[in-house]
Amino acid sequence: MKITEIEIFAIELPLIEPFIISYDTYPSMPSIIVKMTTDEGIIGYGESVPDEHVTGETWESTYAVLKNQLAPLMIGQDPMAFEKIHALMDKAVYQVPAAKAAIDIACFDIAGKKLDVPVYQLIGGRYHEKFPITHVLSIGTPEKMANEAEERVRQGYRSFKMKVGTEVLKDVERIQAVRERVGFDIAIRVDVNQGWENSSTTLRGLRALRDVDLDWLEQPVVADDIDAMVEIKSKTDIPLMIDEGLHGVKEMREIIAKRAADKVNIKLMKCGGIYPAMKLATMAEMAGIECQIGSMVESSVGSAAGFHVAFSKKIMTSVELTGPLKFSKDVGNLKYDVPFICLNERPGLGIDIDEAILQELCHYSHVVK
């Protein structure tokens, strides 16, 4: 089986409400969808959601590198030769993990459809039956975040990821307000997205949050300051998670060697897709570090790919792939049973693509043959 055609779509996914985090506000989510076709007529879909703050890639640059470098390189290749596919991409272009993720995901979708099995059967089989879904609270006033949390508890959610990362004491007020509103039976995870910048500011915040009972604190300091994470971990009993500080094998080696985190947030867009994500999960498992599959607010395509990874590994203890729940219109039909996600047993990614919506949301596209 050979890849014969790749169509690239630059789309914008409309959000129900703006997504606000420490370093940016997103009124809509830019995405690149890849449609890959083989000589056997099997079609697979992949997705890239780049973020210049995290992966160093923009929507425009990702479209260009797929169009001019990666997609032409894939024509004539076997989509089931995952190791070779990644070796070719890595030799052709340094880094650009989100762009490579789109190719990787489409290849796995095709392989599953070819063998008539879900993607998770290609990477270890299904370990988890279902995962609880964590609702993500965008940055807002303490009152607004508490109100939203209260409403989501009524809908059945039992855990929240709070986006913070502005001024540390104002963030403390936000966290305390949500805890007071929802009580102590609800899990709260706090994601600073690098916003507290350094260890001293972070430790000041943690002292003020001593009685709030956090599940964990995620990426409080700038991404490349692993040593600051080591210092914070040595001075608090609140579990620490690394997100932006982990991309690939190089960072994972350092995190393990320095015991810099209790948990790691693996994202397909940061590491290059399903195949590299499985390597990182295996490394973490060997070191006894729990893993989460996180979100760059992908559509049903990228979210389904992440779920297949999460469902296949015992070391995956949480997922936060809630992108499709945030969109007013999506290109796929990934199904949530809020507050849970239960994957189906259909081949490949297990989702259908609405070609009419794909065209509607598309700004421009290109076919590579």
Q: Clarify whether residues 78 and 204 are in a common domain.
A: no
Residues marked as binding?
A: 191, 218, 243
Q: Clarify whether residues 216 and 176 are in a common domain.
A: yes
Q: Clarify whether residues 182 and 326 are in a common domain.
A: yes
Q: For the chain, give the percent of residues with pLDDT over 90.
A: 99
Q: Clarify whether residues 106 and 191 are in a common domain.
A: no
Q: Clarify whether residues 18 and 108 are in a common domain.
A: yes
Neighbour-count burial of 147, counting CB atoms closer than 10 A to its CB (0-12 exposed, 13-18 middle, 19+ buried): middle
Q: Clarify whether residues 92 and 157 are in a common domain.
A: no
Residue 347 inside a domain? The answer is no
- Give me the domain span that covers residue 54: 3-117+353-368
Q: Clarify whether residues 111 and 143 are in a common domain.
A: no
Residue 342 binned pLDDT confidence (cut-offs 50, 70, 90): confident
Nearest residue to 278 (alpha-carbon basis) of 136, 129, 164, 125: 125
Whole-model pTM: value is: 0.97
Task: Provide the number of structural domains found in the chain.
Answer: 2
Q: Clarify whether residues 100 and 147 are in a common domain.
A: no
According to the model, what pLDDT value does residue 97 have?
Answer: 98
Specify the DSSP element, H or E, that contains 61: helix 59-65
Q: Clarify whether residues 125 and 113 are in a common domain.
A: no
**43-72 pLDDT, tens digit each:** 999 999 999 999 999 999 999 999 999 999
Would the pLDDT of 283 be above 90? yes
Distance CA 225, CA 211 (A): 27
Q: Clarify whether residues 163 and 291 are in a common domain.
A: yes
**163 is known as an active-site residue:** yes
According to the model, what pLDDT value does residue 356 have?
Answer: 98
**170 is known as an active-site residue:** no
Distance CA 288, CA 315 (A): 8
Q: Clarify whether residues 96 and 198 are in a common domain.
A: no
According to the model, what pLDDT value does residue 295 have?
Answer: 95
* Average pLDDT of the chain, as a whole number: 97
Annotated catalytic residue: which of 233, 267, 270, 326? 267
Average pLDDT, stretch 221-234?
A: 97
Would the pLDDT of 297 be above 90? yes
Q: Mention every residue, 6+ apart, whose C-beta is less than 8 A from residue 332.
A: 45, 299, 300, 301, 304, 324, 351, 352, 353, 354
Nearest residue to 9 (alpha-carbon basis) of 76, 105, 110, 102: 102
Residue 348 inside a domain? The answer is no
Average pLDDT, stretch 112-128?
A: 98
Q: For the chain, give the percent of residues with pLDDT over 70.
A: 100
Q: Clarify whether residues 270 and 165 are in a common domain.
A: yes
Residue 296 inside a domain? The answer is yes
| Separation of first and last alpha carbons in the chain | 15
Would the pLDDT of 258 be above 90? yes
- The CATH number assigned to the domain holding 15 equals 3.30.390.10
Does residue 133 contact residue 322 with C-beta atoms inside 8 Å?
Answer: yes
Nearest residue to 217 (alpha-carbon basis) of 171, 170, 154, 148: 171
Residue 98 binned pLDDT confidence (cut-offs 50, 70, 90): very high
Annotated catalytic residue: which of 67, 113, 163, 270? 163
Residues marked as binding for Mg(2+)?
A: 191, 218, 243
